Structure formats: structure tokens, C-alpha cells
Structure 1
Amino acid sequence: MHAANNTYSTLLQAGRDINLHQQEPLPTEPVPPAEIDAVRRAWVAENGEGKEIATAPEVLAMLGLDGRVVVIAGPPGTGKTAAGLRALSELRPVLPGNSGPRLRLRLEHVLPDWESVEKDKFLLPAEHGRGYLLDVSGESARWEKPDVTARKFLGHAENLRKRGSYLVVVAGERGWPENDPVLGRAVVRAVHAPPGDRIARRHIEQLYPWVARWGWLQESVRGVGRRGEESDSEDRRAPLDDLLRADMYPGDAAALARELSRISESGGTVKDARDLVLRWRERVSTVFRETQDSADDRALLLAAIMLEGLNPAEVLAGARLLLRDQKTRGIRDILTGRDLVTRLEAVQAKSDGQRVSFSHLPGYPAAVLRHFWRQLSDIQPSLIQWVKQLTAPKGLGAGRIPQIADLLAQLAVDESDLRPLDVAQSWATASDAGQDGASRLLARVARDPALGPEARTKLRSWAGQESRANATVAAVVCQGPFSKEYPRQALTCLRWVLGRGEHDSAVSVAEEVLRAMGSDLRLLPRVWDTVNKWLTEYKQPDDRNHLAARRAVLSLLRPSAERPAAILLLANALEHPDTADELVQGWSAALSVPTLEVRCEEVLTAWAEAVADGLLDADAVVEVLNRVIREHWMTGPLSTFIAGRAGTGYTSQSVVDLRERLILRWNDPRPTPPGGQTQTPLGPATAPEDDSALRTATEDAT
């Protein structure tokens, strides 16, 4: 009880402090320090002809002239995001009301959490001293009303000005109404990008100097091993200078420098580095040529990639599963065959006998998967089915689901293809690890600037389908980072799932996920506001959203120390009469749905137990339920809870105690606000007439 009281005390204070009735802005996340470091220390300001690239300076100049919202428009590969970050990082504003020194802005990415940027109502963030970057380049060309969207963004300038903050919007080549005399005034067009080879060199020189020491980027190099000894002559003839291309996208060039640093740190050679620059194309092609007549070795390669970290025998078993090869080999074939480690090394894997690894070749596994997916496209359905088998609860790859999810997410993004996501349907209905993997896979693809809008649309489509697997996937993905990055869209997905006619496992998952979202102090205001809007908006019983809204309320009202949404809401109601009114409204709405009677009874009992355990404030519970009873005294769940169910041999003491509290409150002519408040109480100002049935209900039930 002492631990429970401590828990309640902490949650009580947290719940009281939440502002549940303030509109939440679009979510943001800090720009990683590595990104900021890159644009500050490794900036390339000139194009291939040595002329200054004007994008970042023009953005900085417009921001410096109090242009609080600036748009960078242009085709892919012109360094728009980097230019925006560079300008924001260079800005040194004086914050409003601050006469001190000029300060650096805190840089944050704004996440586009909307279903339709034109139709949805959303609030852009405006914290003090922020530099915001919003990337809409993947969807701007599809805007139906670009002028409406542009005004939404530009209209945020005054809010930003009051708080000393700025917003840079990154748009695509088309979409922003540049020709409009007003809306086009804030646009900087990105035309030229820095040469990719110079970006890679500058990043290595400034951010990864240990790579430069190996001389890989010099025009001629004497191969050097990790201990200083000379390497083979082939390495000496294989510098990287001729492979770095000026037409590399800036983001690809920066990623290349980062991966070269990993090659260097893992003891790689110039040959490994050269293959990395070529995105492993030459080495992958060589491996595929050498295994052209051996399905066994190609299957072993795929198994080694998916089961990296397992021992060679397990990798071999995975390969045989792909080939559906269950027959036992003869002793003659076994004795004359190549040993397993040799076969693994032939496909570039390393093995110490205990585990198989590609850590020495960062990016190689993804390149192999791309080659299979693109060049041997007929394998795609079989590959997905095999991954499902590998990652089944007792499968060889069950412990590798997070890593496999990352590989499939990278494949989907690289190929702009959502089909690798199909494995998530199997994962979502399998196990906790599978659900985490499905969430990880879909969340990663959903946030990709190019493929993300399509992936998020697909999720919403799955949520509304009859297929239980698809609905479960849509609910599961909302339990991970997706719910924090795109809470509005997560709630939309959950609403579609909660509206299913039958209360199946997909609905159960959605209820649990919604409760988890509501238990996050940062998400609870948005969750509670959204659910209350559903109650108001969806009033027709034949609308699936009507059922969804009421299921959502019951889900949030089910108390638990692990999922304390209900505890936080009741605590908030002690200080805020509006929250108390909404709790009464929510209970009343749920009690009006006959198919939810059993669920209502369960939650009422859970409230009684939570009061007994010290997790819910007894006065707040009594006042809320007292008001609900006045509206729904004859409703099945409430009458059963108060009067008891005929034929029930045992009623828990917690239920009996709460009944007695409710009866005393019902017959008490004095209003008793919870928490000793003297403002607007949770209970009514006047007492009801005496009700003998209610007065004797506990005696009859027990």
C-alpha cells in the first residue's frame, strides 16, 4: 500500500499539472548534433566552378531581415535541407525581451503529422529561440490547393516573431506557388549543389580525420594496413580519387564519408573502401557471377545476411529453409563438399566458428538485398515468405527481428517499394517481439521524406480494412516511435481499428496502444482532446466511428499503474472542472452503447479496485460516478454495479466499499468537492431526493 500511495502521489501531481485543453502543435525532434556539426564545420560553399552557391546565404539574409518563414524550393539533390540548417545555425538573433548577447537557435525538425495538409487544422510549433526545419519535399508536388497550404505556413510568422524563432520549409521542385506576388516572396530557389566529391572530402577532413590519415583519397597511395605494414599491390593501384563523383547527392556524399569512417575503424582495406564508394556494385556482381550455378551458395548468402550473428550451422539451416531442402545428404556428398566456413567466405561473410558477420563490410548486406530484389525480382514473394518463417516465434531469426526490420526498411526506401512491408502483417499477430519489429519497420519507412507519405497512407488504409492482420499491423505501429512522431495519424489509425464490428484481437491491441499513448504525459493532451472530439463529432450509432469513440473512452478510463492514463485524468479533474465534465460525458457516451455493457462493468470494477489500491482519488471517483448515475441509473452496467448481479455468490470488498461511498454521496444533501476545492465542484450543487432503492442496494447485493 505504501508503494501504491507513492505512485499515486507522483501521478496525482503530474496529472494536476497537465493542461489538457491547450491545442498541441505539430511534434518536433532535435536536429542530431552530428547534422549540426556537419553544416558548421564541413560546409562546402562553392560549386564545381568555384562560384559561391547562393542558397544558404540568401536564406540567412532573408531570416536576418525578419523573414520568420523562408521556403527553399528546388529539385532533389540540391542540398536544400543542409542549406536550411546552415542558415539557421548561422543566425544569431536577440530574443524578445532579452537585452543580453545574441544566442544560437536550438534547431529542431518539424514532423508533418497531418493526413491532408490542406484540410487538416494543425498548429505549427513556436517555442522560444528555435530554428525549425519542415521538409515537405516529398508531397508538395501533390498539393491540390498550394495557395491554401502556403498561407498556413507563412501565416505562422507572427507567432514565431513573438518568440524569437524561425521556420525554414523545404519544398520540392514543384508545388509552392512561387509566381504569386505575395506567397512567392519568401522563396529561395535551390539551383546548384556543392560537388559530391568535395563534400565527401571535406567531411572526412573535418569530421573523420582518421580516415584521411590512411591516404585513401590521394591520387596515388601505398597500401597501409592497420599496423603500418604495406598491403598488397592491388591495394596500391586502387585509390579512391577516381571514384568520388561530383554528381553525388549531398546527402549521399555525407553518408559515404560516414561509412568510410566505419570501414577504417573496423580494419578495412583500400579495396573495401573502394567497394563502398561503388556501393558494393562490383563486389556484389562478382559474388553473383561466381555463384551463378549454385543456388545453395546464393541461399547461404541470403541466410547469412538475415541471420548475421548466429553460428554457421544455423545460417546453413536458414539457407535450406529458403530452398525447402529437407532431404538428408549422403555421407559421400558431405565428405567431398566444401567446408562451411569456406563457402561463407566466398560470399564475403566472416566467421570465427561461433558467429557469422558482415561488420567489416558496412552496407554490403543492404546492397546484396537490393541486387536480389531488383535483378532477381521473381524471388520477391518467396523471399518475404521465407523471412516470415525465419522470424516466427520459434524460428531461427526470432531474435533478429529488429535487425531484419532495419534491412527491410532500408530496402523499401532504396527501391521506393512498399512490398517489403508485407512481412509486418505476420509479425504484428505473432509475438511481442514481432509487434515491436512491425512497429520499427513501418515507423522507419513512414518518416522517410520521399516514401513516407505513401507509407502513412497505406497504414491508414490497412486500419480500415476487414483483414484482422492488416488492422493489427496498423494498430501495432502506433505503439512505437510513430505515435510520438505522428500522433495525429496514429490516432486516426486507432480510430479505424477501434470501429471494427467485433471486439477481436486487433481491437484489443488498439485499446492497449491508445492507453499507452494516453499514459505519455506529452501525448495525453492530444489524445484526450481527440477522443472528446470523436464523441462530439460521431453521434450516429450506425457509424463505425461512433463505436470507436466510445471504445476509446473506456480504454483510457481503465486504470493501471503501468498505463496510468485514467489516474492522470482523475487527478487533472481535481483541479479542472472541464476535465470532470468530459469524464462524465465519456462515461455517459460509453454507457449508452448496449454492446459495451460488459466492458463498462469491467471498467467500473477496475475503478473500485483502483480506489482500494490508492491509485484513484476516491472523492473524484465518487463525484464523477454520482453525476453519471443521475443520467444512467437504470442503465444495465450501472444498476448491476450498484445493486449487484442476481445469483452472484461473491462481490469483492473493493466494489462493496465503492458502492457504500456512492450511496452515502447520493444521500448527502451537502455538495462535497473532491480535494477540498471550493470552486466549481465535480458534484452537483443540489442533492437529489432520497432514493430508497439506492439506499438499500448494498445490503441486497451482499
Structure 2
Amino acid sequence: MDSYDIDGFGMLESPKPPYNTNPKPTSPQPGPSEAPTSPEPAGAPEIPPVEVGNPVQQTSTSVIGNNNETAGGDLDKSFYKTDLRGAVITTPEFVEQLARAGVQGRNGRGIQDPEALERLADKYVAPPQLLGETPDGEHDTAFQILTSRKVLFLGAPARDCGQLSAALRLGQELRQEEDARLIVREELMDPSLRLHHDGLLVEHEPAAVIIDLRGASENDLQTVRRSLVEFSSDLWRYESYLILIIPPGSERSFEDSFPDRVHLLQQPPALKVFASHVGRPDAHELVISAEAEGQLEEMWPPKIKAIADAVRDGTDRGEQPLQAIQRALEREASDLPSELRKEILTKQQENDPEWLAMLLAVSLLEGAPPQHIARASDQLLLHNKIRPPEEIPPLLRPSPYTRLLRLPDNWFDIGRRELLPSGFGKQVLRHFWREHPDVQESLLTWFGELPRSMREFERGELEQIADRAAELAAEGGSKIAVSLAIEWATTNSGTESGGLQTSTSQSARYRRSVAVRLLTTTATDSSLGRDVRQQLWDWSRDGNADRKLLAAEVCAGLGEAFPRMALTRLKHLANGENTDVRAAVLRAVRQIGTEIGASRFLRYLSEWFHRASPARLSVISESVSSVLTDHAENIDTDAATSFWHHALDTMPPEDLRMLLESWLRAATTLRPDERTCMVEPIVQATDCTPLRIAHVDYASRFGRPSLDMSSLRNDPVAELVDQLWTRLDEVDPVWTSE
């Protein structure tokens, strides 16, 4: 989406759709279809969990067999198979066909990977007065403000000048120059977010916290102003820093309230930014030969990067480098919307709706097989009450490939099935939305129906549908993203049960994956994100089963980058009793715990104990057991002790038993000499208080009035229980006072 920074830091570009780029038309592969009203198959098997937040994505989702690439699978590798009884079996190809959550495709958000920060910092071209010292020494750089004040307000002349990337580069500079332990992370501005050390700062975990206020309301900004004074003192105590990206034009008001803490971003040298992205040793000579220095100098890094990407794309297509940069700059200077407007008017006057529908279908499904684009075009025609070509007798019907050839080659690459220049597809859809309001309703209906009526889409196509929907939401507001997500996630089971039930059938998972992609993309957008996150919050507390299940899977996709935000919503979702929702919540929590590490997971999960229902406590126990079984050796003692403090303060003894047993069984996966690190935090959390010691003692008997250790002779947990009792006796004031 346009609101993401794409600049000299190179962190926020959307991934190219992983489609087949074979210029030969592919053959359609029949796949199972589901009419909009058909029920999910009764007793459909549970689909294996999809790695929603997995940042490692394959380059292609097509299935290769018999030397043919098909749209969905080969004749012997269909997405659905049946056993001897005719029951539907989920195949790995179907799981791969599902769309993936979008947040991981947009790097540079949430918690940062230190190694990635180091690599990307090498490419970043710092603007004047961001790092180091100023030439005159009279004004502090942004980095100097941070180190001396702990707080920085980062502004820029316009909305998209690379503010987030500059903030990340400052965070990396802090790690290099001030504290290598520093965690660089972005937090999202939520109604529940307050500038307070609880939730934002962690003992023994110094952080550079980045909050983007560009989409914040005036109430949000007032909240920040009111709470910042106290929070600033907390930053010193926690050895942490705060970078606030402020809306353009607000620098004066923040400077008046917080003198000497505001920095206005400047433009870095344009030639250096271009060279860092185009990846050519002759980048400077190329710009000089094209006489493009003046044009580039007027641009901010996101736009320069777009030019560099267009040059790389052109040379990949066989253009000479000089021709490629000239064409890229000409397109930037030309009025593509004006050319598009004229062409649309011509086709309307010629009464050629098929050309217009094909253009929109290509813009939605760039890179997809021709038959998919043609079918989508036909459906759009139907939504506009126009007879599609498929109703013509088959022998008279042009092939999908032939129909695509009608698009002009200066706009359309038939081999790649992509509009030219790169990014023009987004402009086509947004142009229609802006200038043809009469088609908005049919466009949304078309978007909503496609995942229901076309079951043979590959993962990349589903993801592009979601991403294009996000582009429309950027034009029409968050309600578009929310309504489409609801459309895709609604199941017949949910409708027929009045919202009490949901479905995990293949068809339901297929559609819901697109909704997950859409919401994980828009939930982190600086303009749309607040409303989308509020909707997820509302569903987590009072939504029907379909929407709760959708919210849980969205939180799984967001959790690695934004664990606080995701786990806050999962905490409320964990109170529900629906088995499908509960299973999704447990998968999400386990996934997040594995992604962010055991110690950080325990710190975030400590907030779950307050007023916890039995269902939520059960999720705590099961998720902790699962995460610690694989990562117990990496637990920080302070994090574990704090976690057990919360548990002992809030959990009834019976519920405490389940958590303690899970914890000790996870400890048995460690070497015998390492298991003490799992027992000691429990002991320290008692604070030598007799009541807490009694609770731990009772819970460690696992429901027995007295524990006969011989009954657990072959169970490795028995040794840990004995060790725990010994340590409890050593700290019990009743015994130590005698």
C-alpha cells in the first residue's frame, strides 16, 4: 500500500506475487467448486495449521508433474483426494494453496531482527543531521537528541518521506553505539495502548520503541502529550528510548510542548539513494547520461527507490540501462491516469465492455494464468449485467490467451501477464474506484465472490486479491476491508447456527485465508490500521464464531511482529468455548511463543492471569507446555520468576496444578544439570510466603492428598517434584525459624 515507506533503508517493499512467469498459456485444471450456498461437507477433516506468519515463502505454488505446470495441480496431484470410502482428504497441495498473512511480507514492522537490521543498515543512505554530528556543531542531530533526552519526535515535510526507515536506522545506531542488548521494535497506536512502562517496557530488556502517530487522532496525540512526562522518567529506569513519528505539520506544536526533542527529516543525496537500490556499479554514470540528476534530486527516497526498481525491471526485460532509466523517468513525469482516462472513454464510446473488464481483471490478477484472468473478467461482466463471452458456443469462443492480446502491448506484457509500468495495476483499480463511483458496488461484489466461485486460485492469486482489496480500502476506508473479510470468512455453519458455530472445512479455510491476508495487511497500515485493530478487538470480546476464528488467525499472523497487540486480543478470544475458535487460539499462542522466544513469551503472557476464566487458564497451561518443551533452555530467570509471581497471585490451587505439571514436564526435556533453572523461578516467586509455598506444595501433588513418590518412579517429573519440595522447605519460614 502506498502508505508504507519504501526508501533508502529498503525495508518495506511488497513481495512480488509468486506466480509462474512462463509466457506460454497454461491449461486450465478443473478443481472442485462450491456454489455460494453449498454447505461445508459434514465431518470434514481438520486442516493442518497453516504457517500464517512464516516469513520464508516459496517462490512458486504451482504443482509440477508430467512436465506440465497447471493452475492448481496435476491430474495425479489434485488438491482434494478421497479414500476408499469416498471421504475427502486434505492434501499438502491444498494447504500450500492457501494465502499467507501479509504482515511478514512487509519487512521492517514490529520487532526487528538484529542481523537483518545490520544488513539493511549497510544500504541506508542517512540524510543530513540524522546520525553523527552536525557540521556546525550548533544543532543536535536526531541521534544526539535520542541519547541525551531518550525521546525523539521525528517529523518530515510530507507523509511518505521514509520516516519509519529513518527511525529503524536510529534504533540500529543505538544498538551499535549505546547498548548491543537493545531490542528495536515498533508498537501500534491502539485504544488500549498508553505510554506506560507496563506493556511497553520490560525489566532487563532495554528497547528502542517506535510508535507511528501519522494516523493518530487528536485524542491519541493528546494522550501522548499527557503521559509523556512520566513515561520519560521510566525510559531512564528501563534503559530504553522512544521514537515518535509525528504527522506532517505538527512539528511546531510538539516543539512548544517538548523543546529540543523534535527533528525534521531532510533529504539524503539522491544519487547515493539511487545507487544503493539499483544495484549497478555504473549507477552514477547512468544518471548523468540520462541527465536525470535534477529530477531525482526533487524526490524523496521512496520515489527514488521506485525509479530504481523500474530500471531493474526494465533491464530484466531486455532494455538497455539508459533506455530503462529514461522510460522510468518519463513515466514518472507523464500523466498515466490521463492516458488511462482517455482509453477508458474510447472503449466506453465503442461499447466494448469486455476490454474494460479484461483490463480490470488483469489489474487484479497480474501474473495469473490466462484462463483465471478470463474467468474473472467474465464474472465482472455478469455483475454489470453484460453477457460474457463464455455464453458463446465453444467453437466460436476466443481463447483466454487471445482475449488478453487485445490489451495494448505498451501497457501489457503478455508473457508475464503484467501491466506496464510496474505498479500500474494498482493505479487502474484505484482510478476506477475514484472516477467511476457507479462501478464501486459491482467491484466490491466481484471481489467478494471470486474466492467463493473460483476454487482453483493459487496462493499468489489469493494473496493478490487480498492486497488489491487493501488498495481499495486505502481509497474507500477501512469498512471495505472489514466487509470483504466478513464476506470471505462467513460460513454456512455459522449462518445456520446463528453465529454459534463455524467451519474448518477446505472451502472455509480457502476463503478465510484471503480474509486473514487482507486484515493482517490493513491492520498495520498507518491510516487504516486503527479501525481494523478496533474491529479485531470487538470481535475478540463479542463476535460470532466465524469472526472470532478469523480474528484468532489474524492475530497469529500479526503475533511475531506485534506480540503485545495480538496477545491482548487472543487473551479475550481464549475465554470462548467454541472448539474451533479455542483450537485456533491455542495454535496462535503457541506459534507466537515459538516465534518471539520463551522469555519474551512469558513476559507477555503474564498479563493473561488477571480475571482469567478457566478456558483462558487452560490455554496458558497448554501453550506454555508446548513452547517450553522446545525452548526451555532459553528461559530468562527474571522472566520466569515474574510469570510465576502472577500465577501464584491470581490462580486458584486447582488451576495452578495444571500449569505446574506442564512446567515441570517441559523441564524434563532439559539435561539433568539444567533443570534447576526451571525449578528455581517457582521457588523465588513464593517470596518465602507461607501461603504461596502452601499453594505450590498443594499443586505439586497433582491432585493426590499425599504423593507416593514410588508411583512416579519411572516418570522423570518425580525427581523435579522432589527437588521442588526440598527447595520449598529450605525457604519456608516455618522451618527456617526453628
**TM-score bracket for the superposition, by shorter chain length:** 0.5 to 0.7
CA distance in 1, matches of 2:333, 2:565: 38
Partner of 1:674: 721
Given the alignment, which residue of 249, 259, 269 partners 1:185? 259
Partner of 1:20: none
CA distance in 2, matches of 1:148, 1:483: 29
- The residue type equivalent to 1:555 in the other structure is V
1:580–1:682 Cα contact (<8 Å) kept? no
1:412–1:419 Cα contact (<8 Å) kept? yes
Which one scores higher on RCO, CA 8 angstroms, separation ≥ 6?
2
Partner of 1:695: none
CA distance in 2, matches of 1:519, 1:285: 50
> In the TM superposition, what whole-angstrom CA distance separates every residue of 1:143-185 from its partner, at most 9, and x where no partner exists?
333433322553255247x6xx75543222577895787x522
1:559–1:566 Cα contact (<8 Å) kept? no
Partner of 2:544: 467
Given the alignment, which residue of 403, 406, 410 partners 2:464? 403
3-state DSSP class of the match of 1:473? helix
Given the alignment, which residue of 531, 542, 554 partners 1:454? 531
- The residue type equivalent to 1:517 in the other structure is I
Given the alignment, which residue of 319, 336, 360 partners 1:302? 360
3-state DSSP class of the match of 2:367? coil
- The residue type equivalent to 1:265 in the other structure is D
Partner of 1:18: none
> In the TM superposition, what whole-angstrom CA distance separates every residue of 1:622-680 from its partner, at most 9, and x where no partner exists?
x99x97996899xxxx99xx99xxxxxxxxxxxxxxx99789479xxxx9752745312
Partner of 1:229: none
3-state DSSP class of the match of 1:484? coil
CA RMSD of aligned residues (A): 5.7
Instruction: Show the 5 A alignment for 1:379-398.
Output: 379-392=439-452, 395-398=455-458
CA distance in 2, matches of 1:131, 1:144: 22
- The residue type equivalent to 2:259 in the other structure is R
3-state DSSP class of the match of 1:291? helix
Given the alignment, which residue of 144, 147, 151 partners 2:222? 144
CA distance in 2, matches of 1:88, 1:577: 29
Alpha-carbon shift at residue 414 of structure 1 (Å): 6.0
1:203 is the counterpart of 2:273: yes
- The residue type equivalent to 1:36 in the other structure is A
1:340 is the counterpart of 2:403: yes
3-state DSSP class of the match of 1:122? helix
1:350 is the counterpart of 2:413: yes
1:169 is the counterpart of 2:240: no
1:199–1:253 Cα contact (<8 Å) kept? no
3-state DSSP class of the match of 2:421? coil
Instruction: Show the 5 A alignment for 1:271-286.
Output: 271=327, 274-276=330-332, 278=334, 280-286=336-342
- For the structure 1 residues 446 and 169, does the alpha-carbon distance in structure 2 shift closer, same or farther, using more than 3 Å as the test? same
2:154–2:243 Cα contact (<8 Å) kept? yes
Alpha-carbon shift at residue 316 of structure 1 (Å): 1.2
CA distance in 2, matches of 1:515, 1:437: 22
- For the structure 1 residues 414 and 394, does the alpha-carbon distance in structure 2 shift closer, same or farther, using more than 3 Å as the test? closer
Q: TM-score of the superposition, structure 2-length normalised?
A: 0.60
Instruction: Show the 5 A alignment for 1:417-566.
Output: 417-428=478-489, 430-432=507-509, 434-480=511-557, 482-500=558-576, 502-503=577-578, 505-520=580-595, 522=597, 524-525=598-599, 527-528=601-602, 532-536=606-610, 538=611, 546-547=612-613, 550-558=614-622, 563-564=626-627
3-state DSSP class of the match of 1:110? strand
Alpha-carbon shift at residue 483 of structure 1 (Å): 0.8
Given the alignment, which residue of 104, 107, 121 partners 1:36? 121
Structure 2 unmatched ranges of 5 or more = 1-109, 491-506, 684-691
- The residue type equivalent to 1:262 in the other structure is D
- The residue type equivalent to 2:187 in the other structure is L
CA distance in 1, matches of 2:263, 2:644: 52
Alpha-carbon shift at residue 465 of structure 1 (Å): 3.5
3-state DSSP class of the match of 1:450? coil
Alpha-carbon shift at residue 495 of structure 1 (Å): 2.9
> In the TM superposition, what whole-angstrom CA distance separates every residue of 1:168-211 from its partner, at most 9, and x where no partner exists?
43222577895787x52232353x854xxx96555325542649
> In the TM superposition, what whole-angstrom CA distance separates every residue of 1:297-333 from its partner, at most 9, and x where no partner exists?
2222222233333332332122112223576204796
1:494–1:510 Cα contact (<8 Å) kept? yes
- For the structure 1 residues 590 and 530, does the alpha-carbon distance in structure 2 shift closer, same or farther, using more than 3 Å as the test? farther
Alpha-carbon shift at residue 29 of structure 1 (Å): 5.0
Partner of 2:76: none
- For the structure 1 residues 34 and 673, does the alpha-carbon distance in structure 2 shift closer, same or farther, using more than 3 Å as the test? closer
> In the TM superposition, what whole-angstrom CA distance separates every residue of 1:555-612 from its partner, at most 9, and x where no partner exists?
2333799x445776899799978867877888747869xxxxxxx9xx99x989x89x
Alpha-carbon shift at residue 402 of structure 1 (Å): 2.3
3-state DSSP class of the match of 1:679? helix
Aligned length: 569
Alpha-carbon shift at residue 90 of structure 1 (Å): 7.6
> In the TM superposition, what whole-angstrom CA distance separates every residue of 1:330-350 from its partner, at most 9, and x where no partner exists?
479647999324224469333
Identity percentage of aligned residues:
17
CA distance in 2, matches of 1:336, 1:207: 40
Alpha-carbon shift at residue 479 of structure 1 (Å): 0.9
Given the alignment, which residue of 223, 245, 262 partners 2:313? 262
CA distance in 2, matches of 1:240, 1:145: 45
Partner of 1:597: none
Partner of 1:289: 345
Partner of 1:5: none
Which shifted more, 284-293 or 269-278? 269-278
* Structure of larger gyration radius: 1
3-state DSSP class of the match of 2:154? strand
CA distance in 2, matches of 1:85, 1:461: 31
- For the structure 1 residues 39 and 323, does the alpha-carbon distance in structure 2 shift closer, same or farther, using more than 3 Å as the test? same
- For the structure 1 residues 78 and 204, does the alpha-carbon distance in structure 2 shift closer, same or farther, using more than 3 Å as the test? closer
1:672–1:683 Cα contact (<8 Å) kept? no
Alpha-carbon shift at residue 39 of structure 1 (Å): 4.4
- For the structure 1 residues 263 and 111, does the alpha-carbon distance in structure 2 shift closer, same or farther, using more than 3 Å as the test? farther
> In the TM superposition, what whole-angstrom CA distance separates every residue of 1:55-91 from its partner, at most 9, and x where no partner exists?
9964247439834433234653484726656777788
1:60–1:88 Cα contact (<8 Å) kept? no
1:63–1:166 Cα contact (<8 Å) kept? no
Alpha-carbon shift at residue 472 of structure 1 (Å): 2.3
> In the TM superposition, what whole-angstrom CA distance separates every residue of 1:455-489 from its partner, at most 9, and x where no partner exists?
32232123334333332222111111x11222222
- For the structure 1 residues 359 and 530, does the alpha-carbon distance in structure 2 shift closer, same or farther, using more than 3 Å as the test? same
Alpha-carbon shift at residue 685 of structure 1 (Å): 12
Given the alignment, which residue of 122, 132, 152 partners 1:70? 152
CA distance in 1, matches of 2:188, 2:623: 32
CA distance in 2, matches of 1:557, 1:217: 60
1:110–1:133 Cα contact (<8 Å) kept? yes
- For the structure 1 residues 389 and 93, does the alpha-carbon distance in structure 2 shift closer, same or farther, using more than 3 Å as the test? closer
3-state DSSP class of the match of 1:680? helix
CA distance in 1, matches of 2:314, 2:151: 41
- The residue type equivalent to 1:369 in the other structure is L
